Structures are given as C-alpha cells and as structure tokens.
Amino acid sequence: WARRAAEAGDAKAMHFYAMQLYDGVGGARNRAEALAWLTKAAGAGRVDSQYNVAQLLEKGDEGVAPNRVEAFKWYMIAARRGDQQALASVQRMTSGLSVVDRRKAREAADAFTVEPVA
C-alpha cells in the first residue's frame, strides 16, 4: 500500500515507503531508492524526510555517495522548520565546511520552496 500511495503523491507515504526501502522491509534494502523517495517527501515539506535526507547524504551509504554540502543544505532547511536535531547538526557541521561550501548550501536552502507533489 505504501508504494501505491507514494506513487499517487502522498508525502507521508513517500516517507514511510522510503524507510521501508532503507531498512529492507518487505524486500531487499535499497538505500539509493530510499534517498530518492525521501528527497521527494522532503521537497514536499516533510521535515522528518528533510532530516533523513541530510543524514544519509552526510555520511553516504550503500549506493549513496556522501555529499556534505547537500547534507548541510537539508539540515538547514529542516532546522528552519523547527527540527532541533537538524539545528544541532548545522552547528556541528559548520566548522567542518569551507566558507564557500557553507555559502553554497545556504543559498540553496534559501532558494528552497515546498513543491506540491503530483
């Protein structure tokens, strides 16, 4: 049901389905596909998905290359929406990124708008 609802545009289902893929519930684990669904849900405004995207991108995982600038962007977006763990991650990561990378991430976070899902 989760996949059908996710494909129909339900952002909550997108997050749930992504976590099933991440953990391998009901099938093989697929971290890259999980990231794709989490990113869709994050773009639709789900703060939990925004935080999970950032976590996955910060460290990388099976089939997911680390991208600390993109992770920082998603942590910033989630932090601005009230996620305290994301705020702590922004503070933790700040000293580990160059000024240029922080600026790049901040500009991308500033440009973020919630995209309606179809």
What is the per-residue pLDDT across 97-112, written as a single tens digit (0 to 9) for each?
999 999 999 999 999 9
**Domain assignments of the chain as residue spans, ordered by start:** 2-111
Tokens, residue 104: 């790049």
What is the per-residue pLDDT across 9-39, written as a single tens digit (0 to 9) for each?
999 999 999 999 999 998 899 999 999 999 9
* Residue 67, phi then psi, degrees to nearest 5: -145, 90
- CA-to-CA distance for 44 and 81, rounded, in angstroms? 13
* Residue 25, phi then psi, degrees to nearest 5: -75, 125
Measured over the CA atoms of residue 26, residue 31, residue 37 and residue 38, the dihedral's sign is positive
The amino acid at 89:
S
CATH superfamily of 2-111: Tetratricopeptide repeat domain (1.25.40.10)
- CA-to-CA distance for 32 and 54, rounded, in angstroms? 13
